[in-house]
Chains A and B, each alone.
Chain A
Amino acid sequence: MKRFRRHGHESHRDRLKQELFQFSKTVEHGFPHQPSALGYSPSLHLLAIGTRSGAIKLYGAPGVEFMGLHDENAAVTQVHFMPHQVEMVTLLDDNSLHMWTLRAHKGLSELLEIGRFMLTGPPGAPPSVTRVTAVLAHSSGELLLLGTEGGHVFVVEVPGFRELEERNISLDQVSNSVPDDYIGRRNLEHVEALHENPTNPSQVVIGYGRGLMVIWDLEKQCAIQHIPATQQLESVCWTEDGSYILSSHSDGSYCRWRVGGQDETEEEEEEEEKSDIPYGHFPCKAITKIVQLPTTEGPPFLLFSGGMPRASYGDRHCITVIHRKIHVALDFTSRIIDFFVIRDGPEHTGDPSVLLVLVEEELVVVDLQTEGWPVIQTPYLVPLHSSAITCSQHVSAIPLKLWERIIAAGKLQNMHYSDKPWPIIGGKNLAPDPAQRDLLLTGHEDGTVRFWDASGVCLYPLYKLSTAPVFHTDADPNDNMNQSAEGEWPPFRKVGCFDPYSDDPRLGIQKIHLCKYSGYLTVAGTAGQILVLELNDESAEQTVEAKVVDLLQGQEGFRWKGHTQLDVREEPVQFPPGFQPFTLVQCQPPAVVTALSLHSEWKLVAFGTSHGFGLYDYQQKNTVLIKCTLNPSDQLALEGPLSRVKSIKKSLRQSFRRIRRSRVSLRKHHVNNPTKLQEANARLEAELAEMELAPVQRKIEARSSDDSFTGLVRTLYFADTFLSDSSHNTPSLWAGTNGGAVYAYMLRLPTVEHRADEPVTAQPAKEIQLMHRAPVVGVVVLDGHGAPLPEPLEVAHDLARSPDMHGSHNLVVISEEQFKVFTLPKVSSKMKLKLTAVDGSRVRRVGVAWFGSNRTEDYAESALVFLTNQGDVHVVSLPHVKMQVHYPCIRREDVSGIASCVFTKHGQGFYLISPSEFERFSLSTRFLVEPRCLVEAPLHLGSSNQHRAEPDGATSAHRTTQHREDAESAARCVMEHALLNDEQVLQEIQKSLEGDQMSFLENNVKKAVV
């Protein structure tokens, strides 16, 4: 009987677990790491970005996002949308082609890979024959033209990827017809560009690497015209009216060629063949892409990337835009991947309105219709890493008032952005409005804190705070790259916000704590600086007083060898509206701040470094408590981060190696140099062997108090709890160190009336030395109900149940190795959960979260969520510290990803998957932020039908039979699901069937055509 009941209880718990917890990775925020290809569908209004790791990401209207990953771990080199369709073709570095589609399923679109293809050459042919270098998605939507390294053009029918051998354009066919006087006719080289005549889909221009361009008639299978350019070809552009072809070349020149010039007079043709090196005189770099777009009235827009004078500006990444008399060289901070222009009008044939540039580290959108061509703020794909992220904090459920004030402050900072609405509007965002306003705060290396709207799928920048103005830094603020001298040539204009170069690494933000109720913010940095800031809607000029706190407390015989503390500006500083610093604490020695906690109700801030911790009263501006946690034998902590020197050297060497290696692999179109390749391989092998020779050893040793950095303060926590006896609760401060020690201090706060004049005092109350000496990473006090104590001011704002102060409180100490519950006020061990001893993993990040059941509104429980060094996320129940669920989340090798993880109060989390991207995951069944969106196939079939070949009759005939079959199967399915008796479900079924039917149909149609 007992066993039965027990079993019943367990199964109940299991069911409850299912209702409370589920794991999913939902969205990737930020900018894709190492983008390598860009595509745009004017008909779908969707943007596609491929990355070097084989990911493909689609973006439409804010909130409309899709992501796919190629099975091959190869870089995406090209992305092409099939005109007027929801299909998309990707070309990978391994020469494979992939067909993707957006399929509706249950009312939501999904990105699916529906086919893959690899060109097969004749037997015995070298691989270069089929190595694809250029792709043209023909406007018919049925053909794919593939230009190869061998100079051939293969024609493939899509979406089925059927090779149409008889329509292939072989190199021989072309070179036979090349005029004899063309110097490069012996070797035309690879196909560099394929372009369709905008006015006649049967004509394509094939551009060969050597420079020759051939206009080819797909119907008649013959060359119509040869354009004998002699410079190495980079790109080709066919003007809108079909009368000119623009070609850009490796010497920085571009040429305009008249098409169909045969019937024109000779002179006219001569005149039209205009060649220009825009940044001429001295040798220039290649113009990698050129586009010319007409305007309804007036001269066309000419846009090209590159072409800079090699010697003086060869390192700039520029796109030049020329319109009328305006000539601007947009100067980007990272390498240009690709660009395109969005045009007005329903048919996307109107005036150019927006220029989108994908550079290595960000997406820049330039408004071409507003005076001065301002940049449009992107609602997504924002480079999180415009300066490297050093820490982050998530704050859930921001009160509306604070939210509005932050947005208002942010708006003032964004005055220079264009007012133009976001131009990419594809798809429908069907996600429900976020239930609450969430903020993600990221601290950066340059001393800025960025505020992001993390409520929904788009991580939108709200406000940026800079702490640098408080200090004198090496860099003079006037030394700005932005200023461009009048009449400078080329006419550079700096665009983009990616700026990884930090003026002073000491400014780096290490810890952030925002109180959402009071609007107080505290940030702490690399050089032991702690700033307390207050949100002010007006700009103000003030002096920030610095208070130096000596954490060594008389420990002698040590010398700090790390960086010096920051110099504070003594003169008043003008602070713009937003968060304005009003107090500054500087730790001495100026070591990195490793723990920070703010209690806005008590007006106290606690901070810790590797030397000790302190408590500062920011109302009275004095130090309440300083405690040195240093172990006298710990030399390393005192001398500063000297041990790093070695690692920096090592990492430098490695990065040089990496660069060298990537240079080898990145060379365009692979110079076939087997010896070099062998060399590289041999070097790699030698490196590997070297690694194997010295086996990795690990010392097995119990931790002792003599270990390094045992005094490093890992966590600080304020709690109003029972410290001395079980009838009087008092404010307290808890600190946990790397050496497994927990210090508790009883705080005495004066009454509210005397808060300003009576001192705050702190008395040591408890000290716990954990036997296992593992670093203490978290301290939580549970109230009488076993729930974590609420945040400061939470109760005062009526947002949380006041804690139960009658039952006995418990203290949860979370070390890297175990979770331990102690009773309070008398500290004695009550329960524990061992982690490391059991599975060898260690706690890296921990948070308290609240999980609601997805079944009943009123059931919820608090739990601890934590991430281990193995990359697994676990949920541990409170107050009984029982393991609930665990899921693999991050690769264990991804140390920076694990270190960057933050948890939200509602069971979600973020971690960096690259320097520029946050992955969002959810452990909760109730709180889930994920893209839910629908993209419908464009109803713009008219134009594509136009190009469809004659056998329309056959198609329709086929279609009817197809219809009958589908109707049958549909009916069958409907019957099967009739039991459900749910209209919505039926509709969904039908919709998905239709989706299938469409592509299936198209497949068949094409077969019929052939």
Chain B
Amino acid sequence: MVSSAEPNRTEPSRMSRLPPPQRKTPVRMTETMVEVKSKFEAEYRRFGLKRNGSGGFQEFYRLLQTIHHIHGVDLLLGYADIHGDLLPINNDENFHKAVSSANPLLRIIITKREGEPIVYGTNSLQRRRKGLSLTGLRPTGSGTINSKNKSSLLIGPPQNFRQISSIIDVDILPETHRRVRLHKHGTKKPLGFYIRDGVSVRVTPQGVEKVPGVFISRLVRGGLAESTGLLAVNDEILEVNGIDVAGKSLDQVTDMMVANSHNLIVTVKPANQRNNVVHRGSKNSMGNSGSVDSAGSTGSVLSHDSPSPASQSNPITASSIAEGDSEDDDDDGDIILENECLTVYNPQTANKRDSVNLNGELSRGGTHPSNMGRPLPQSVSLPGSIGASLGYSAHATSGHNGSLTRTASSSQDSIKEDGTELTL
């Protein structure tokens, strides 16, 4: 329905928080089998796959290895989606997505994992459109901007994918408001915006009323806020992580935002109301209104081109507050260094339990009396980049609410610190 619901450039919409594919009612396909055509170098294989099969990505990976007889080679899987884009398959989620969106054929492209990472791109397959005869798969009219866009946009390797922003709670908010989530973790990009005091005009039964409000005053070039295109100068800030800012001073709002900066959810009333998300109509003219996009960010251009089926039927049930809670443990990711061994708490929700177990083991190990007298490792605080990259890689391979996959762990090297092996 809404094209801009998943508007980040750096992130394929399929990787976003999605409902399990089961939720999506098959529109045309009633068969239970999916036709798969996989290609490795010059070889093609065709086989069938159960649409609602319980198998995960790992199974599929092994299956492909068997079918193509390429054991012992690190593989990267990709598939062509309905728009003809080459997208990665590297976890359960995007695997299910690939299977469920196969229409009718699922094209798999297998490449060796080599030094040079494969470049995924939105129109990477378009150039080969003819040969692959994908034209039929493309919904007409939706890719106009995209096809005009001559240069292919490069998308980094899959481990670099992470969500940086999203619009949430579209169904529960009034049309005039927008709830934007900015994910700061793992990025070195500054949040990059400023807020100011201002006067907001409210329409009340008593008439027009002027009340003090907080507004975005400036976006830093190259900052997270600017790059999402979801926030613009003069947008009024209504809520921060689900808490109403009415009656709060500028400093209070600043502190609230900074305190929530790792997972900031701001509800704004955009100054430019023409870009609003309309959540009832089946289509909107969003894609064509790119010219009036006040944010003027290139990111939004991309977001317009693909009406994402993902966001279309995404019944976001969690309110932003619940969201905040689920994300709450994120900032439990304090880095704790114990003297027995340099233990790193990964700042990841998914990892939390693991690290706790891990820690348990470690401290058990640490109780050896020999450990006590041992010269202690100089406790140098972890450079931010290490912590960041840890969280980062894990995030890339885990879905938003998915658990860690084995690929990730096998592909990402185990971390050895102080003689103790840590497995993420």
Contacts and interface: CB of A to CB of B under 8 A. Distances in A.
B247 to A, nearest CB: 10
B136 interface: no
Interface residues of A, number: 47
Interface in B340-366: 340, 347, 356, 359-360, 363, 366
Interface in B236-290: 240-241, 243, 245, 248-262, 264
Given A700-B193, A741-B381, A771 B259 contact: no
Contact of A766 (B248, B254, B336): B336
A743 B192 CA distance: 31
B331 A771 contact: yes
Interface string A695-739: 111111111110000000000000000001100000000000000
Contact of B376 (A764, A771, A870, A892): A764
Nearest to A870: B252
B382 A700 contact: no
A837 interface: yes
Contacts of A772: 259, 262, 331
B363 A826 contact: yes
Interface stretch (B52-60, B99-107, B194-202): B194-202
Chain B CB within 10 Å, residue with most, of A700, A746, A768, A826: A700
B333 interface: yes
A765 B366 CA distance: 12
A572 interface: no
A704 to B, nearest CB: 7
Contacts of B334: 768-771, 820, 829
Nearest to B260: A837
A700 B184 contact: no
A697 B243 CA distance: 21
A836 B259 CA distance: 6
A841 B258 CA distance: 11
Contact of A837 (B241, B332, B379): B241
A842 interface: yes
B73 interface: no
A466 B195 CA distance: 48
A944 B363 CA distance: 87
Contacts of B335: 767-769, 771
B376 A841 contact: no
B402 to A, nearest CB: 22
Given A767-B381, A840-B253, A697 B338 contact: no
B395 to A, nearest CB: 15
Nearest to A698: B254
Interface in B159-208: 184, 190-198
A834 interface: yes
Query: In the complex, which range does the number of interface residues on chain B fall in?
Result: 35 or more
Contacts of A743: 379
A200 interface: no
B381 A697 contact: no
B384 interface: yes
Given A698-B250, A701-B192, A764-B339, A839 B332 contact: no
A702 B184 contact: yes
Nearest to B223: A701
A820 B240 CA distance: 22
Contact of B262 (A705, A771, A838): A771
A457 interface: no
Contacts of A764: 339, 376, 378-379
B196 A698 contact: yes
A725 B339 CA distance: 12
Interface string A806-844: 000000000001101000011111001010111111100
A339 B258 CA distance: 55
Given A769-B382, A837-B260, A839-B252, A828 B336 contact: yes
A700 B336 contact: no
A763 B338 CA distance: 12
A695 B212 CA distance: 14
A149 B334 CA distance: 70
A584 interface: no
Nearest to B331: A771
A697 B194 contact: yes
B29 interface: no
B70 interface: no
Chain A CB within 10 Å, residue with most, of B253, B258, B376: B258
B390 to A, nearest CB: 13
A549 interface: no
A982 B243 CA distance: 51
Given A763-B339, A767-B337, A829-B332, A837 B249 contact: no
A336 to B, nearest CB: 41
B197 A695 contact: yes
B400 interface: no
Nearest to A829: B332
B146 to A, nearest CB: 33
B330 interface: yes
B194 A840 contact: no
Given A769-B335, A771-B331, A817 B254 contact: no
Nearest to A842: B255
A774 interface: yes
B68 interface: no
B217 interface: yes
Nearest to B218: A697
A825 B339 CA distance: 11
A274 B333 CA distance: 88
Contact of A841 (B196, B252, B347, B363): B252
Given A695-B196, A703-B258, A767 B191 contact: no
B410 interface: no
B291 interface: no
Nearest to B215: A695
A841 B243 CA distance: 13
Contact of A724 (B196, B256, B339): B339
A774 B259 contact: yes
B129 to A, nearest CB: 43
A838 B243 contact: yes
Contact of B191 (A702, A724, A763, A818): A702
Contacts of B384: 704-705
A869 B252 CA distance: 9
Contacts of A741: 381
Interface in A864-899: 869-870, 892
Given A768-B334, A837-B259, A842-B255, A700 B191 contact: yes
B367 interface: yes
B69 to A, nearest CB: 47
Contacts of B359: 826, 828
B257 A700 contact: yes
Nearest to A818: B259
B372 interface: yes
B251 A698 contact: yes
Contacts of B261: 700-703
Interface string B9-52: 00000000000000000000000000000000000000000000
30 contacts: A698-B196, A700-B257, A701-B190, A702-B261, A703-B258, A724-B339, A724-B372, A725-B367, A763-B339, A764-B376, A766-B338, A767-B381, A768-B335, A769-B334, A771-B335, A771-B347, A772-B331, A825-B363, A826-B338, A826-B359, A826-B360, A826-B363, A827-B338, A838-B243, A840-B240, A840-B249, A840-B253, A840-B256, A841-B252, A869-B255
Interface of B: 184, 190-198, 217-218, 225, 240-241, 243, 245, 248-262, 264, 330-340, 347, 356, 359-360, 363, 366-367, 372, 376, 378-379, 381-382, 384
Given A771-B334, A840-B240, 9 more contacts: A695-B197, A697-B196, A699-B193, A702-B262, A725-B366, A741-B381, A771-B331, A834-B259, A839-B248
Interface of A: 695-705, 724-725, 741, 743, 746, 763-772, 774, 817-818, 820, 825-829, 832, 834, 836-842, 869-870, 892
What are the 8 A-B residue pairs with the smallest beta carbon separation, nearest first? A840-B252, A702-B261, A836-B259, A767-B337, A840-B256, A698-B254, A769-B335, A837-B259
